[in-house]
Structure 1
């Protein structure tokens, strides 16, 4: 019997709107991308969301305080894919500079540059590395959700700092719960190339590699997204014990705020890219086919 499918999302840095609203917006962005890029009208798929902003912030973002709400893209038809990315992006300019810094930091274990970046720009991630209670609570939410759907085919999509949490959890679960499997891990806007992050992983889990409980891993990065400054991860993370490596894909995150300013890091933009739609649509198609079969049985 075919296993049911589930898409599980986990958000990244900074405060968020209320959990129910954020959940609806992620699902709406995924559905919009499938409809526009894959031509599947009103796609049906099961979705669950790991929300952890409440562990760091006293109250969620209010409607007035949220300057980046979900809004459908204008127009119709497919959205731009990675082949439409500019030949030279911010990341293309910055990545070689950071790569030199990264090499020194990894070799020496002294991560002054990354410490400054994390503490002053990505303070949630800094607290995640520094505060054990916060770390434990965040991880436990993802562990609980993965275990709740262990009988399903799981596509886990982790945005920004969510990718750090997902990697830690999966490497831990491969030891503590080795029968649990994730069919596809998708990281988007990932900071997994930062030397500080890699050194933390190595200290806790050993050599960097794809977790053994992951059957596929795709990493999506926009060339203007400085959080994912290193872009490709396949050279940093070795294949797992059965030879599964990371597939890196450049995408175009076309998200714009209501005032028209672009934000190439925004989750909704990644969730609507043609590259992500092609990965998630089989889960929606299977769900849609299962509903149709049930209706005609």
Structure 2
């Protein structure tokens, strides 16, 4: 029986020191699983090697975020059982819908990006540009942090679920493309993307393989791909990937691609208010927990 392994690839921005950050992510993941399937959570929690963090952020940013900035809010999140009425209203607010229209236009017409009102979105584009340009080889170095453990897991015949959040889904996709076409590695994974920008034209035009045709355009090493987006998450501006990556299905490169983007509420709050994009909130969500629990049981 293959060993189950869960790899988490975080999104952008500095993160807490690696061991501390992994501990908080695992707390959230186990909480989401516990709410979906209480029998599975202790199995994963009791396996010290089950959950691995791909900590690319310290290399990319050369800095850490203090854990004590996040910890009280993570504790508060884990005490909750769901979104409040106010959380739901804010996630579905007219302000967010209006912003979605503006950002969709900017995704289609990139010259509009400097005019976007949200500095967070503009900063995201500026920060990711360094990765996409592979300045000083940083993109390749980041991907190697993921590919190194993947190679060993493939060699060992382990069963792998890659959970990638936000910019981490771009790193994951590019790493899988390189393993397919540069390294010719036959290993395969299951992929769960959370709050991913892979549905955006801006991102798609910068992925590895973008200038290739046919089967060379895509990675071949994804079995099942589930893409989940919380209500109001503007980082996942286009919350669907199946339409964009449908040729992978038609070419027989992937067994399934499933978008889940309705009725998922990320109710993480901090001192700045509701943040529907934070990875802690995604992992603690029972809808996400259900996907992970089902995957785990399939290999048990």
TM-score by shorter chain over 0.5: yes
Structure 1 residues not aligned, in runs of 5+ = 106-110, 290-297
Structure 2 residues not aligned, in runs of 5+ = 45-49
Aligned counterpart, 1:154:
160
> Deviation digits for residues 10-38 of structure 1, max 9, x if unmatched?
11110100000111111111111111222
The question of whether the paired residues in 2 share the 8 Å contact of 1:157 and 1:186 is answered with yes
Deviation at 1:246, TM superposition (A): 2.3
The question of whether the paired residues in 2 share the 8 Å contact of 1:239 and 1:245 is answered with no
Q: Which has the higher helix share?
A: 2
The TM-score, its normalising length taken from structure 1, stands at 0.80
Kindly report the root-mean-square deviation, in angstroms, between the aligned alpha carbons of the 2 structures. 3.0
The question of whether the paired residues in 2 share the 8 Å contact of 1:33 and 1:274 is answered with yes
C-alpha distance in structure 1 between counterparts of 2:208 and 2:298, whole Å: 37
C-alpha distance in structure 2 between counterparts of 1:193 and 1:280, whole Å: 22
Q: 1:168 aligns with which of 171, 174, 179?
A: 174
C-alpha distance in structure 2 between counterparts of 1:207 and 1:229, whole Å: 26
Count how many residue pairs are aligned between Structure 1 and Structure 2. Answer: 274
Q: 1:73 aligns with which of 58, 78, 82?
A: 78
Which 4+ stretches in 1 moved above 6 angstroms? Answer: 84-87, 115-118
The question of whether the paired residues in 1 share the 8 Å contact of 2:73 and 2:268 is answered with no
Aligned counterpart, 1:222:
230
Residues 192 and 229 from structure 1, CA distance in 2 versus in 1: closer, same or farther, beyond 3 angstroms?
Answer: same
SS of the residue 2:42 aligns to: coil
> Deviation digits for residues 131-162 of structure 1, max 9, x if unmatched?
15110110000101211211111000000100
Aligned counterpart, 1:269:
281
Aligned counterpart, 2:42:
43
Deviation at 1:67, TM superposition (A): 7.4
C-alpha distance in structure 1 between counterparts of 2:15 and 2:295, whole Å: 26
C-alpha distance in structure 2 between counterparts of 1:75 and 1:100, whole Å: 36
C-alpha distance in structure 1 between counterparts of 2:41 and 2:71, whole Å: 27
Aligned counterpart, 2:259:
248
Q: Does 1:187 align with 2:193?
A: yes
